[in-house]
Protein backbone atom coordinates (compact mmCIF):
# COMPACT_ATOMS: atom_id res chain seq x y z
CA UNK A 1 0.00 0.00 0.00
CA UNK A 2 1.21 3.50 -0.86
CA UNK A 3 0.19 7.03 0.08
CA UNK A 4 -2.68 8.34 -2.09
CA UNK A 5 -0.51 11.26 -3.21
CA UNK A 6 -3.47 13.24 -4.58
CA UNK A 7 -2.84 15.99 -7.11
CA UNK A 8 -4.87 18.73 -8.79
CA UNK A 9 -8.40 19.45 -7.60
CA UNK A 10 -8.50 16.26 -5.51
CA UNK A 11 -5.49 17.52 -3.55
CA UNK A 12 -7.10 20.94 -3.10
CA UNK A 13 -10.39 19.44 -1.88
CA UNK A 14 -8.64 16.99 0.48
CA UNK A 15 -6.50 19.81 1.95
CA UNK A 16 -9.62 21.89 2.60
CA UNK A 17 -11.46 18.98 4.28
CA UNK A 18 -8.45 17.92 6.39
CA UNK A 19 -7.87 21.55 7.43
CA UNK A 20 -11.57 21.77 8.30
CA UNK A 21 -11.33 18.69 10.56
CA UNK A 22 -8.18 20.00 12.27
CA UNK A 23 -9.76 23.44 12.84
CA UNK A 24 -12.86 21.77 14.26
CA UNK A 25 -10.78 19.64 16.64
CA UNK A 26 -8.67 22.63 17.77
CA UNK A 27 -11.82 24.55 18.62
CA UNK A 28 -13.70 21.70 20.34
CA UNK A 29 -10.68 20.78 22.45
CA UNK A 30 -10.22 24.42 23.59
CA UNK A 31 -6.65 24.42 22.21
CA UNK A 32 -7.61 27.50 20.20
CA UNK A 33 -8.43 29.42 23.40
CA UNK A 34 -5.73 31.83 24.46
CA UNK A 35 -6.32 30.97 28.11
CA UNK A 36 -5.59 27.26 27.56
CA UNK A 37 -1.98 27.88 26.49
CA UNK A 38 -1.38 30.70 28.98
CA UNK A 39 -2.71 28.57 31.86
CA UNK A 40 -0.61 25.66 30.63
CA UNK A 41 2.61 27.48 31.39
CA UNK A 42 1.57 28.13 34.97
CA UNK A 43 0.26 24.50 35.20
CA UNK A 44 -3.26 25.71 36.02
CA UNK A 45 -4.66 23.88 33.00
CA UNK A 46 -2.61 21.04 31.50
CA UNK A 47 -4.87 20.45 28.49
CA UNK A 48 -2.25 21.42 25.89
CA UNK A 49 0.51 19.25 27.37
CA UNK A 50 -1.84 16.26 27.79
CA UNK A 51 -3.01 16.59 24.16
CA UNK A 52 0.60 16.77 22.99
CA UNK A 53 1.73 13.79 25.08
CA UNK A 54 -1.25 11.62 24.11
CA UNK A 55 -0.70 12.50 20.44
CA UNK A 56 2.85 11.14 20.95
CA UNK A 57 1.57 8.03 22.73
CA UNK A 58 -0.84 7.21 19.92
CA UNK A 59 1.04 8.82 17.02
CA UNK A 60 4.47 7.22 17.46
CA UNK A 61 3.17 3.62 16.93
CA UNK A 62 0.86 4.80 14.11
CA UNK A 63 3.74 6.58 12.36
CA UNK A 64 6.02 3.59 12.95
CA UNK A 65 3.74 0.91 11.53
CA UNK A 66 2.27 2.98 8.69
CA UNK A 67 5.73 4.07 7.54
CA UNK A 68 7.08 0.52 7.94
CA UNK A 69 4.35 -0.84 5.63
CA UNK A 70 4.69 2.06 3.18
CA UNK A 71 1.29 3.61 3.92
CA UNK A 72 2.83 7.00 4.74
CA UNK A 73 6.17 8.60 3.92
CA UNK A 74 7.92 10.37 6.78
CA UNK A 75 9.43 13.41 5.12
CA UNK A 76 12.90 13.59 6.59
CA UNK A 77 13.91 17.13 7.51
CA UNK A 78 17.34 18.44 8.39
CA UNK A 79 17.69 20.74 11.34
CA UNK A 80 20.74 22.49 12.80
CA UNK A 81 21.59 22.98 16.46
CA UNK A 82 21.66 26.79 16.82
CA UNK A 83 18.56 27.52 14.71
CA UNK A 84 16.65 24.91 16.76
CA UNK A 85 17.91 26.34 20.08
CA UNK A 86 17.40 30.03 19.17
CA UNK A 87 14.06 29.26 17.50
CA UNK A 88 12.83 27.43 20.59
CA UNK A 89 13.80 30.35 22.86
CA UNK A 90 12.02 32.92 20.66
CA UNK A 91 8.93 30.72 20.20
CA UNK A 92 8.74 30.02 23.94
CA UNK A 93 8.97 33.74 24.74
CA UNK A 94 6.36 34.56 22.11
CA UNK A 95 3.88 31.94 23.34
CA UNK A 96 4.22 33.21 26.92
CA UNK A 97 3.32 36.72 25.68
CA UNK A 98 0.53 35.96 23.21
CA UNK A 99 -0.72 32.48 24.17
CA UNK A 100 -0.97 31.17 20.63
CA UNK A 101 0.81 29.15 18.01
CA UNK A 102 0.01 29.98 14.35
CA UNK A 103 -2.81 27.43 13.82
CA UNK A 104 -4.51 28.22 17.12
CA UNK A 105 -4.34 31.96 16.34
CA UNK A 106 -6.18 31.30 13.05
CA UNK A 107 -8.78 29.11 14.81
CA UNK A 108 -9.18 31.69 17.57
CA UNK A 109 -9.81 34.47 15.02
CA UNK A 110 -12.45 32.28 13.38
CA UNK A 111 -14.29 32.00 16.71
CA UNK A 112 -14.74 35.77 16.86
CA UNK A 113 -11.72 36.61 19.02
CA UNK A 114 -10.71 39.63 16.98
CA UNK A 115 -7.77 40.40 19.24
CA UNK A 116 -6.05 37.39 17.65
CA UNK A 117 -5.65 39.60 14.59
CA UNK A 118 -2.82 41.44 16.38
CA UNK A 119 -1.09 38.12 17.01
CA UNK A 120 -1.59 36.98 13.41
CA UNK A 121 -0.32 40.30 12.07
CA UNK A 122 2.77 39.93 14.26
CA UNK A 123 3.25 36.40 12.91
CA UNK A 124 2.91 37.46 9.29
CA UNK A 125 5.16 40.50 9.86
CA UNK A 126 7.93 38.12 10.93
CA UNK A 127 8.43 36.99 7.31
CA UNK A 128 9.47 40.35 5.78
CA UNK A 129 11.28 41.47 8.94
CA UNK A 130 13.38 38.30 9.10
CA UNK A 131 14.03 38.69 5.38
CA UNK A 132 15.59 42.08 6.12
CA UNK A 133 17.52 40.66 9.10
CA UNK A 134 18.65 37.67 7.07
CA UNK A 135 22.40 38.59 6.94
CA UNK A 136 22.54 38.99 10.74
CA UNK A 137 20.59 35.76 11.37
CA UNK A 138 22.81 33.97 8.86
CA UNK A 139 26.03 35.14 10.55
CA UNK A 140 25.03 34.57 14.16
CA UNK A 141 22.63 31.62 13.95
CA UNK A 142 22.84 29.58 10.76
CA UNK A 143 26.59 29.83 10.20
CA UNK A 144 27.59 29.58 13.87
CA UNK A 145 29.58 26.45 14.66
CA UNK A 146 27.27 23.90 16.28
CA UNK A 147 28.42 22.03 19.41
CA UNK A 148 26.76 18.87 18.07
CA UNK A 149 25.15 17.56 14.92
CA UNK A 150 21.48 17.23 15.81
CA UNK A 151 20.78 15.37 12.58
CA UNK A 152 23.14 12.61 13.65
CA UNK A 153 21.28 12.43 16.97
CA UNK A 154 17.99 12.44 15.10
CA UNK A 155 19.04 9.71 12.70
CA UNK A 156 20.29 7.63 15.61
CA UNK A 157 17.09 8.00 17.50
CA UNK A 158 14.76 7.29 14.62
CA UNK A 159 12.66 4.30 15.48
CA UNK A 160 12.86 2.96 11.94
CA UNK A 161 16.62 2.95 12.19
CA UNK A 162 16.75 -0.24 14.21
CA UNK A 163 15.96 1.43 17.54
CA UNK A 164 12.64 -0.30 18.12
CA UNK A 165 12.94 0.17 21.87
CA UNK A 166 11.96 3.86 21.36
CA UNK A 167 8.68 2.66 19.89
CA UNK A 168 7.64 1.34 23.32
CA UNK A 169 9.66 3.60 25.60
CA UNK A 170 8.55 7.01 24.30
CA UNK A 171 4.77 6.33 24.21
CA UNK A 172 4.82 4.83 27.73
CA UNK A 173 6.85 7.72 29.16
CA UNK A 174 4.50 10.22 27.45
CA UNK A 175 1.47 8.43 28.88
CA UNK A 176 2.95 8.46 32.40
CA UNK A 177 3.73 12.19 32.06
CA UNK A 178 0.20 12.87 30.84
CA UNK A 179 -1.30 10.97 33.80
CA UNK A 180 0.99 12.88 36.17
CA UNK A 181 -0.05 16.23 34.67
CA UNK A 182 -3.71 15.25 35.01
CA UNK A 183 -3.05 14.35 38.64
CA UNK A 184 -1.45 17.69 39.53
CA UNK A 185 -3.98 19.76 37.59
CA UNK A 186 -6.00 21.93 39.98
CA UNK A 187 -9.74 21.25 40.03
CA UNK A 188 -12.14 23.89 38.71
CA UNK A 189 -12.92 24.99 42.27
CA UNK A 190 -9.24 25.47 43.10
CA UNK A 191 -8.70 27.44 39.90
CA UNK A 192 -11.48 29.84 40.85
The string of DSSP codes covering 82-100 is HHHHHHHHHHHHHHHHH--
- Identity of the residue, 103 or 180, whose beta carbon is nearer to another protein in the bound complex: 103
Q: Print the binding letters for residues 12-51 with another protein: x by CB under 8 A, - otherwise.
A: x-xxxxxxxxxxxxxxxxxxx-xx--x-xxxx--xxxxxx
- Identity of the residue, 154 or 180, whose beta carbon is nearer to another protein in the bound complex: 154
Helix (H, G, I), strand (E, B) or coil at 1: coil
Residues 125-164 that bind another protein (CB under 8 A): 125-127, 129-130, 137, 141, 150-151, 153-154, 156-159
Tell which one of 68, 69, 97, 168 touches another protein (CB under 8 A): 97
CA distance 48 to 35: 11
Are residues 142 and 80 in contact, defined by beta-carbon separation less than 8 angstroms?
yes
- Identity of the residue, 15 or 176, whose beta carbon is nearer to another protein in the bound complex: 15
Tell which one of 11, 139, 143, 168 touches another protein (CB under 8 A): 11
Tell which one of 113, 144, 173, 180 touches another protein (CB under 8 A): 113
* Residue 72 contacts another protein per CB under 8 A: yes
* Residue 177 contacts another protein per CB under 8 A: no
Smallest gap from Cβ 99 to another protein, in A, equals 7
- Range 54-71 burial, b when 16+ CB lie within 10 A, else e: eebbeebeebbeeeeeee
- Range 92-110 burial, b when 16+ CB lie within 10 A, else e: eebbeebbbbeebbbbbbe
- Identity of the residue, 22 or 176, whose beta carbon is nearer to another protein in the bound complex: 22
Smallest gap from Cβ 186 to another protein, in A, equals 13
CB-CB neighbours of 125 under 10 Å? 10
Amino acid sequence: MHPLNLTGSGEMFAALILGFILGFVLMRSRLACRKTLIDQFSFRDNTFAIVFLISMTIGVPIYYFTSKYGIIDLHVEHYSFWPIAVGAVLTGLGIAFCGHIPVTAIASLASGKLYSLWILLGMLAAFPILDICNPIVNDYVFNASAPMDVNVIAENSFFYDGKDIMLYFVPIVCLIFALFLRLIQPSKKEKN
